[in-house]
Amino acid sequence: MPENDVKPSHNLRLVGRKIVITGAASGIGLRTATLFMEEGASVILLDRNADALKAAHEGRHAVLTGVDITSENELAEAIADAAEITGGIDGVINAAGIMMTGPTAELSSQTWRQVIEVNLTGSFLVVQNCLPWLTRNDSATIVNVASGAGLLPNVPGLAAYAASKGGIIALTKALAADLAPNIRVNCVCPGMVDTPMADGFRANVGNYALKRIADPLEIARAMLFLTSSESSYVTGATLAVDGGRTFH
């Protein structure tokens, strides 16, 4: 089957849904976008790398927008234009993120700000700009991607990344309280996933109960559950999809 073909699922759990997915050019965001299209969703795919986004999804029925989620004016315009095309927005997947590591003593304030700006502030701005459309629906959903490092930052050099992902967990709970009852807000905390972000950490799977790295599809399926009606009584939850890293 050609790489850009999307095979429909027999379940079609997202038919009629209109969902924004950030970081959709690679990794977890890319696999989630494909899965959601298989499940019948209309998707708005955002990524700061417009060329990679086009290469990954060209030919698919999706709205593709190259945008930096930390640029407030650019993001607001991009979301408004995309919502006009799809006829609204009733779901968000905040999968965009960066990892920059280093000893705390050597961590520059610029690096700290960049990680927080992309991972935490960017996620907030995406939600805020989608709210005018989300609030028009009785069962809208938001799923944020945090990290096992936000639950248990037990690897050296992760101060900025762990702080940003811990912030995502707290933001999720605050949004769940703020936006209830019509908008459900949850987050997933992946462990190590088979994407370029895992390079340099792959030897650490011995700390995982399941003794292996995750496929991006395994994380995408968790976000499908939290986006679909199957999780209709779940909000404010933090779901560890980490192969047993945080309890092990």
**How far apart are the C-alpha atoms of 197 and 239, rounded to whole Å?**
20
151 forms bridges with which residues in the sheet? none
**How far apart are the C-alpha atoms of 125 and 198, rounded to whole Å?**
26
Which tokens hold the place of 207? 């700390």
Which tokens hold the place of 69? 């989620």
Buried b (16+ CB within 10 A) or exposed e, 10-35: eeebbeebbbbbbbbbbbbbbbbbbb
Rg (CA), the chain: 17
The one catalytic residue among 6, 133, 150, 161: 161
Catalytic site includes residue 233: no
**How far apart are the C-alpha atoms of 206 and 43, rounded to whole Å?**
37
142 forms bridges with which residues in the sheet? 92, 185
**How far apart are the C-alpha atoms of 164 and 171, rounded to whole Å?**
10
Residue with tokens 């003593």: 105
Whether the CB-CB separation of 47 and 23 falls below 8 Å is answered with: yes
Whether the CB-CB separation of 190 and 28 falls below 8 Å is answered with: yes
State the DSSP code for 118: I
Catalytic residues: 161
